[in-house]
């Protein structure tokens, strides 16, 4: 299923946030994930359950994007998390499962429809804090590592070029010395 971000979604996202309040997301986070996160943050004071459900959705988008889950392997968040379990440290794994579980409470009605399990704004903010830490750990750190790696590769290429030039120069000097004899 392909999801397109429309102008009305961006405007809705902006209208949910009172003027003067800003929710920052790193620029390398995909736009759909950023919009979902901002909606979760903006709605937290109004509905903790809605915010938790949006945080869960944000987590699913991040798992799919960051770990490059193939389309044919996408389904529910639990299955997608299982695909990447061996690539996540145990503390983070427990946190991801908790976001999923609390988000499920916000997103899905229990069998007992007469009982509503509330999620407070403060509880919703705990989920948002984990999403923010994932932005740093998954996106900002990866971007910094890629920049460092690129700079290192450029440095190596430059040094190898200098090395080849020095070697060529020494061969030319050696040839000139042998001609002088």
Its sign, for the CA torsion 86, 41, 70, 148, is negative
**SS3 label, residue 57:** helix
In a domain, 171, yes or no: no
Angle (CA) 25 26 30, round 5°: 85
Q: Which domain holds residue 70?
A: 7-148
Give the model's pLDDT for residue 46: 93
In a domain, 76, yes or no: yes
Tokens of residue 76, six digits: 């529910």
Give the model's pLDDT for residue 171: 78
Number of domains in the chain: 1
Q: Indicate the angle between helix axes 90-107 and 77-84, nearest 10 degrees.
A: 170
Tell me the pLDDT of the chain (181 aa) as tens digits: 444 556 655 555 555 555 444 578 999 999 999 999 999 999 999 999 999 999 999 999 999 999 999 999 998 999 999 999 999 998 899 999 999 998 888 776 666 666 778 899 999 999 999 999 999 999 988 888 888 888 899 988 899 998 988 888 877 766 666 666 6
Give the model's pLDDT for residue 174: 66
Q: What is the rounded CA–CA span in Å between residue 132 and residue 41?
A: 10
In a domain, 158, yes or no: no
In a domain, 172, yes or no: no
Task: Tell me which residue of 49, 62, 52, 18 sits closest to 128, measured CA to CA.
Answer: 52
Give the model's pLDDT for residue 21: 47
In a domain, 170, yes or no: no
Q: What is the rounded CA–CA span in Å between residue 5 and residue 167?
A: 56
Tokens of residue 160, six digits: 């190898």
In a domain, 116, yes or no: yes
Give the model's pLDDT for residue 142: 80
In a domain, 89, yes or no: yes
Is the pTM higher than 0.85? The answer reads: no
């Amino acid at each position: 299923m392909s999801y397109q971000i429309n102008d009305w979604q961006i405007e809705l996202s902006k209208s949910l946030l009172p003027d003067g309040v800003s929710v920052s997301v790193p620029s390398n986070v995909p736009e759909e994930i950023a919009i979902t996160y901002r909606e979760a943050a903006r709605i937290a004071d109004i509905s903790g359950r809605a915010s938790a459900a949006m945080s869960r959705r944000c987590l699913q988008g991040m798992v799919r994007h960051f770990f490059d889950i193939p389309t044919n392997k996408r389904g529910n968040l639990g299955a997608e998390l299982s695909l990447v379990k061996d690539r996540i440290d145990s503390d983070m794994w427990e946190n991801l499962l908790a976001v999923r579980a609390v988000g499920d409470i916000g997103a899905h009605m229990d069998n007992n429809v007469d009982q509503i399990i509330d999620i407070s704004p403060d509880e919703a903010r705990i989920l948002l804090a984990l999403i923010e830490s994932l932005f740093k750990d998954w996106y900002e750190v990866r971007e910094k590592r890629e920049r460092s790696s690129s700079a290192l590769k450029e440095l190596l290429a430059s040094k190898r070029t200098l090395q080849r030039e020095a070697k060529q120069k020494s061969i030319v000097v050696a040839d000139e010395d042998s001609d002088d004899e």
